[in-house]
Chains A and B, each alone.
Chain A
């Protein structure tokens, strides 16, 4: 592998590399697998850039540095306590070894419809902070990901951080991934739900994101609206599940058929009440 590999310590050291056409590497768990034996000419590793790490609360948002590894995020109290829907996805992503290497920003830029962190981030209305030599800009995650492996990242730009508006403390957060095995599984279907109910148990706002059932993660707005104003019970979730089946666009592949995915995607909604005390 004849690539030149640079590991700048700060963003000032990164920008000239990007101008020269370097390919960005975060954890390497996707890039080096895709490029087996055939690396780009210059690789710019982000792992030593301190400003791309750190987790904290900022103006009502949880801010997560794009180069935080899945393992480190999983250990962070803000993620565990405030974003359990994300924590549950991180806990079943890849394997412990992959989680020690792969990063949140990398999972986003890989933009796989099966990316385990993506459904939770869509359901949390996450934004991404993009940085370049010219400055930073913030865009919504679902606007940023345009298709499988396709993002709206400009040349010379990187994902610097992920910002999640703090969910209401009483909001119900749920994640479930269906895969062929427990570890190292690419999901067949995943569901992330963030649902806020009022004192009487009536849904004030429901956000439902489904993974591996289309060319990107899909927010099922019709299903969300069908839940609003209703109690979370078998009947309302069955109706929302029917809406989910209309809104998703699954494909047949070697892991599962489209028909199976459509069935499971709708049924997974029932677990939202089965999984809570």
Chain B
């Protein structure tokens, strides 16, 4: 920590003295040691597992497109030397961080370290045999596929928790959305399914809002109970109606990919981002909308005020409770949309179809430090871990996929424990507001 201050001018005593103080934010010991040591360990693992013990004699073959399409850019890299390079650079980054940590560089350093590790893993996978290849575009597509419900769920969390209502019931809102979307998409059509899913999610959001805001129920308790309620109700209704009448009630049409006119023809980005389903395009819009809404509009400013200091917000005339109701209900609708995504992927509702994705979305929200951009980045990271796990179970069955699946949860614990930087929730998150 260095402080540079210009000495006050030794002139007339009543003259206004302006001090220019440049303060560099300190890095806590936990963050310094935690981040540095984790980088060094990551580097050692890279050198050991993919270099010394790699045992892959083939070069890594990387493609930018599916294997059956012609004219796709592809190249090969010697995997083992690359792993050594990646590992040594990661170790160097870790040592550099231990010696001279700078808070402003934290994200960059950790990002580069993680990216190099992932690169080593990918190269190692792509050199598993003479015919193993890694299709980066395919990997990206499946990352987005896994991430979309997480992104939507985490955006729901942003809406609720930024206004001061803890939402542990993302899972329940997704489930309600999924069941309703399956029913209405089968009876009427895809669009009706989307709308109905969002409405169902909003209804569970309504329950959350009423019990949390009107009846002052502890919000974590409430979230847990609502999850049980939604799982029970959708399971009951599935058994009672959908199971016997699958064709009539639970046969939703799948969503088709739509290629956007100009954007879809861009070589790599086109097939990756702009040749996909309506709900994914909707997700893009929502990401931008929530970010703009939260940081660039009056409503967003008020929402953040209500979530940080409701009393102050109330004093300047903001209706705290109305703000919270609206945000929680809109958030519920977004989570309901996430639920309907599952339906349009597989075409059918099954019991507990969301399988804990709501909780990963919660983890993404926390890992992303309650900001829309952070949450989206975290959701993409978790989605990538999922996609990588799927790829590994095919290319490298020796590495158990369960450990890849654990990564998001471990990362979140490490993040909240402050080992690699502190996360902080909105100050009034979870505290009901009672006007005096």
Chain A partners chain B: no
Seen from chain A, the residues whose Cβ lies within 8 Å of a Cβ on chain B are none
